[in-house]
Amino acid sequence: MTDTDNSQAQPRRPRNFPRTIELFYDDIVDFGLEEALVIAHIRSHLLFLLMNDTKEDDLERWNAIKVGKEIYKRITLSEWLEEYPILSKTKITRIVSRLEKLGVISSIKPYKVREGCLHFVDTAKYYTITAKYYTI
C-alpha cells in the first residue's frame, strides 16, 4: 500500500473537527475507561455541532437530527470500529447498551410514515448524552 492509499483510508473529518477528545476523570471512575471513551466520542461530536452553531438545515449534512431540544448524532457500528480499532464489535455493543441502561446516553432510530406504516430511515442509531451527564 502506498502512502497516498493510506491517506485515503483515513476517516474523513471536517477541517475544524477536533482530532483529540477530552476524557473526564469522573466518567472514567464512574463507568470505566472504555465507557468514558464512548461518552467522550459522543460528547465531542455534539460539541462540534453546538460550537459551529449548526442550524437545523445543516444537521442532515452532519448526520444529525434535532428532536425537541436534543441533538442526536448518527454513529454506525463501522464508524465506532474505525475510531476505536482496539474495541471489538461485541465490546462496543455491550458498552453502548450498558450506558443506555444506566441512562448516560440515549438513542433513537428515526422513521418516516409512508402509506400509513412506519419505515425506519436506516439501521443506524442516533445518540445523545442525557442532560444529567452532559458536561461542556
**In the chain, where the domains are located:** 22-133
Q: Which three cell numbers stand for residue 28?
A: 472514567
Q: From CA 132, how far away is CA 34, in angstroms rounded?
A: 20
Report the CATH fold assignment for 22-133: Arc Repressor Mutant, subunit A (1.10.10)
Residues 91-133 have pLDDT tens digits of 999 999 999 999 999 888 877 666 666 666 667 788 888 877 6
* pTM of this structure: 0.72
Identify the band that residue 10 occupies on the pLDDT scale cut at 50, 70 and 90.
Answer: very low
**More confident site: 20 or 7:** 20
Helix axes 33-51, 89-102, angle to 10 degrees: 70
Contact 21/40 with Cβ under 8 angstroms?
yes
pLDDT at 69: 77
Identify the band that residue 64 occupies on the pLDDT scale cut at 50, 70 and 90.
Answer: confident
Which CB contacts under 8 angstroms, 24+ apart, belong to 2-9? none
Q: From CA 58, how far away is CA 98, in angstroms rounded?
A: 31
pLDDT > 60? residue 1 = no
State the average pLDDT for the chain. 77
% of the chain with per-residue pLDDT over 90: 21
Q: From CA 44, how far away is CA 62, in angstroms rounded?
A: 13
Cα angle 1-10-43, degrees, rounded to a multiple of 5: 160
Q: Which three cell numbers stand for residue 134?
A: 452532559
The closest alpha carbon to 136, from 60, 76, 78, 49, belongs to 49
pLDDT > 60? residue 17 = no
